[in-house]
Structure 1
């Protein structure tokens, strides 16, 4: 932990503590994600360009910004720097492990003594890759902000669980090391409202001018509409998951608190030791947006946090003119967010052009025949008749002439 920072709490997990889990749609814990591939130096490397990056003109995007000098705090399961695409992306000196040493039964917590750059779950490593993975030969995968710096803050254990208490400490640590953006890809279990301390920590981050991005949650099957924390608190940019059709992913949480949506299905990203894996969840939508926030911050370092959030929301691809409880203000559009930025705005507003588009003027429908059309039709018939008659008369004259020539030839004895 940074030498000048002192955590407000070092208490072990208790049964009264509000639990948080990193977000994967099937179980809402990160261990299911790690089962999709093994973590080794020989792990599969994704050769092509993932669909979530194909939807972006990266050359145009990076002509505006690459996120240089912007620090993004990833509060998660740690970030493994042995993956070559993350080695230069992570500031190891600023990383910290906030896991309690013992659990509620007094037993040692696995990973509590490891570094923030150790990730046995793989969740935080995926999140960090989507934000700032460096380009690498042999793969089309890269982070949206490939010059941003990741601050790894480990507060989730080997099963992907953390507590509201340690999350509050993690947020305050991010404030202390002057993070520009905080990514929180987790929420409280069963949407339990956490205590005031976590809410206060979030507000402290917002007051410090930090963009706070959080996953909306993965309990959206069946049309569930409920608040999740910390995503639903005012000032936090809550991110839902979208699919390849720019529609809400089936598992993505809905609600009025959703700010925007971002790709969250079949998301390719970095895993511990090397290579890539695919995963689903709002856990991987949030860092997509955090990456865009880093790009904007690098281009407009004097913009306020709420102006960066408003820019992302205003330039998103809308489903309706205003706010939609399924995808918020729309699916994030990184290029528009970086190019339609003449001046900062304080809040998004409805785009009436999207729903009040002037309909094309239909062609006039005439039932029956007008007098003009009848005259033209008769004239056409007459012209065709005259042409046929002339052709017939001309053909008859030629036949008569040929017959007379043959008769004269026979009379003279010539065929």
Structure 2
């Protein structure tokens, strides 16, 4: 699988899974892209479409993520980008990659800083930016939770050294010593894992500590492919698919009954190592969009459980249908509505368009109270009789008008 770096168009950089874990990336990318995303890159001076759909001032009246700690388990987070320098808690960061790393040809490669603040791939830096990038003059890009704190946990790299076991260790570290409130996992395992696996156990332990876990659904959805991905498919994890500019499932986004919601995942502008911005596609960048909303909810409602925060995000999502579907789950994440309607906790989403509303199918007009079938037939018969009388009158009136017209015409002719 590959992580793409985009600057207007797509250009692929490989991210190969040598073990059981792979970072999510689009299933297909263009090989003829004219512009490569470099590290650092030019700043994006506009406001990304994924943020244009959000009334940020209204959102930040509710919460900004202040005091909320979000662990980014990924390829590291580069703090040289000025929008992330003050967002990252480097002291709590960790590098969980194996010692003495080598590439597939056996050559030694750099492992990076021990605190997880090195990112040669750029993947984790983009994920962190979508969550908590600080506002900066000269760009319209900013994180959804611009006062949240990022905990960088480097657990994968360009050679795919991350494993299900190291991911489990990263989750345990995030929920334990790092004191994370939210964990973002923009990765999935190459193979399905049994519910009793070590990864599943780590997820359950974190949830028991009231840590919200958000995971990308995966990018193998081309051609209608449906399969479960992990850890997104585990009970209690918020599984996030990708939506496009039209709030529809992005073509690459993984489908399945496990999908909880969708979030923007196409042409996603975010921070890159060294400074500047780049565009990318994938559920890897939809998950942090939802994780940013989770961080805001954590600030506003610190006593809510992960189940309640997940349910709130699902319930307030923008829906094309009343209930859940396997393409975008309960709909596309609506940050403002998720926060402004967060007065009472709910345990699970329900069909409809509101927190307690249930969609009602259209029904036929009721009959008059107390009307019997015989009375109804009599009433309908009366309607028919009256209609017939009116029609006869119209025809007769028309005949009279024609007769008088002929008489007048004959009279004029005789003069």
Q: TM-score, normalised by structure 1?
A: 0.79
Q: Tell me, in whole angstroms, the C-alpha distance in 2 between the residues paired with 1:193 and 1:370.
A: 76
8 Å CA contact 1:99–1:109 kept in 2: the answer is no
Q: Tell me, in whole angstroms, the C-alpha distance in 2 between the residues paired with 1:209 and 1:97.
A: 24
2:7 is aligned to none
1:382-401 alignment to 2 at 5 Å? Answer: none
8 Å CA contact 2:81–2:274 kept in 1: the answer is yes
1:89 is aligned to 87
1:9 is aligned to none
Structure 2 counterpart SS, 1:289 = helix
Mark the runs of 5 or more structure 1 residues left unpaired by the alignment.
1-15, 362-366, 386-415
Q: Tell me, in whole angstroms, the C-alpha distance in 1 between the residues paired with 2:151 and 2:322.
A: 37
Residue 318 (structure 1) shift: 1.5
Residue 108 (structure 1) shift: 7.2
Q: Tell me, in whole angstroms, the C-alpha distance in 2 between the residues paired with 1:133 and 1:302.
A: 25
2:269 is aligned to 268
1:59 is aligned to 57
Residue 125 (structure 1) shift: 0.2
Residue 74 (structure 1) shift: 0.0
8 Å CA contact 2:101–2:111 kept in 1: the answer is no
2:144 is aligned to 144
Structure 1 counterpart SS, 2:162 = strand
Q: Tell me, in whole angstroms, the C-alpha distance in 2 between the residues paired with 1:246 and 1:113.
A: 38
Please tell me the root mean square deviation across aligned C-alpha atoms, in Å: 3.4
CA gap of 1:208–1:101, structure 2 versus 1, over 3 A, is same
Structure 1 counterpart SS, 2:62 = coil
1:297 is aligned to 298
Instruction: Write out per-residue CA displacement over residues 67-96 of structure 1, whole angstroms, 9 at most, x where no aligned residue.
Output: 100000000000001100000100011001
Q: Tell me, in whole angstroms, the C-alpha distance in 2 between the residues paired with 1:65 and 1:179.
A: 18
1:388 is aligned to none
8 Å CA contact 2:19–2:161 kept in 1: the answer is no
8 Å CA contact 1:100–1:109 kept in 2: the answer is no
CA gap of 1:373–1:20, structure 2 versus 1, over 3 A, is farther
Q: Tell me, in whole angstroms, the C-alpha distance in 1 between the residues paired with 2:389 and 2:49.
A: 55
CA gap of 1:368–1:284, structure 2 versus 1, over 3 A, is farther
CA gap of 1:264–1:109, structure 2 versus 1, over 3 A, is farther
Instruction: Write out per-residue CA displacement over residues 318-377 of structure 1, whole angstroms, 9 at most, x where no aligned residue.
Output: 22211111111111100110011220011111117785465899xxxxx999569959x9
Residue 189 (structure 1) shift: 1.6
Structure 2 counterpart SS, 1:179 = coil
1:1-400 alignment to 2 at 5 Å? Answer: 18-26=19-27, 36-40=36-40, 43-102=41-100, 110-115=109-114, 116-176=116-176, 177-191=178-192, 196-351=197-352, 356=360, 358=362, 370=390
8 Å CA contact 2:27–2:220 kept in 1: the answer is no
Instruction: Write out per-residue CA displacement over residues 31-89 of structure 1, whole angstroms, 9 at most, x where no aligned residue.
Output: x99x841102xx21111110100111111101100010000000000000110000010
8 Å CA contact 2:183–2:211 kept in 1: the answer is yes
1:4 is aligned to none
Q: Paired residues, what number?
A: 362
Mark the runs of 5 or more structure 2 residues left unpaired by the alignment.
1-16, 366-386, 406-415
Q: Tell me, in whole angstroms, the C-alpha distance in 2 between the residues paired with 1:373 and 1:79.
A: 85
Q: Tell me, in whole angstroms, the C-alpha distance in 2 between the residues paired with 1:47 and 1:175.
A: 36
Runs (4+) of structure 1 exceeding 4 A deviation are 103-109, 190-195, 352-355, 357-361, 367-375
Rg larger for: 1
Q: TM-score, normalised by structure 2?
A: 0.79
Structure 2 counterpart SS, 1:162 = coil
Q: Tell me, in whole angstroms, the C-alpha distance in 2 between the residues paired with 1:373 and 1:260.
A: 63
Structure 1 counterpart SS, 2:215 = strand
Q: Tell me, in whole angstroms, the C-alpha distance in 2 between the residues paired with 1:145 and 1:253.
A: 26
